[in-house]
Structure 1
Amino acid sequence: MTGVVRWDGFSADPRRAEVAGVRASDGDRETAVEALREAFADGRLDRAEFDRRSHAALAAALLGEFAPLLQDLEAPVPATLSVHDEAVRRYRREAREARNGFLTVGTITTGIWGATSIYGGDPYFFWPVFPMLAVGAGWFMKVANRGELIERHERKIARRLERRRRKDESEDPEG
């Protein structure tokens, strides 16, 4: 969910002093980078800070190195945030990323086309239309399948919550 670092995604909680010296796994590094991606998508990190922290997370050798990279990203999440609201938030992030991919590909390829056309003296065939159509199709599919994608996210979130509930019950000594 927005604003929450999933500390339970690590092999051990990196905030605990007794595990700070334990070697980090590839899965631990990916968990840290995913938390940074979410913070970047939420606008809590700018590109430079995201890049700096991601590089540090990928280079981390010990679990304790993740805590300083992630602790300031924790924010309280409203208790009323529903599964549907979280699914919609995730869908919107995916759709925004697809749109930004389309705009990036369009801008870069059109720039290359423009530069080569100017250098050549005559406008060439507008070939950027092909990569733009390919990437745009992905964006269109996100928009066209909105309901289905939100439902898929709802199912994933519900499964994760159910696993967490079962885990909490199994760890409860009184349960």
Structure 2
Amino acid sequence: MTDWWSGFERDPRDAGNAGLRASDADREVVRGLLSEAFADGRLDRDEFDERADLVLRTRTLGDLPPIVRDLVPMTPAVRRPAGAMSPDEIQAKALERWRNDRREAFFGLLFVSAVTWTIWVATSRGFPWPAFVTIAALMNLLRVATSREQKVAENVRYLEKKQAKELYKRGELPPS
């Protein structure tokens, strides 16, 4: 039922379209909804007849929404431009970026530790200098692992900004 408004060529809920003349096709969309509501038992015969008569007498698109106000949602659905990600998709992508960062920090710790300790073992075995490199890599891993909310929020802001810039370049978003 939320897709019902897409049956109109121009959305009658939009104030910019309210003064435009309603076409026969627009009236037929509303009449179809009234028939469906009558068949479902949401309207009795008198209500159906009264509203159907109103539909026939409408002149502008703005006259149509009040006739069906109690039958369908009145708030316009938020339409995303083609190719735009939903907030849930952006959140999921931001979380995946954080997971990738955490994985890279972990494997970085393993790689750096393995290389430096191998060099240390193969050479002098004097002062255990690889401990400093290992500690630094471990601190980086801990920093990434413990800052999940902050990093995800940063990634969300970055992805939203990037998406807005792309949509603006394509002309699908007005400048802010």
TM-score category (smaller protein): 0.3 to 0.5
TM-score, with length taken from structure 1: 0.42
Structure number, greater radius of gyration? 2
Q: TM-score, normalised by structure 2?
A: 0.41
Greater share of helix: 1
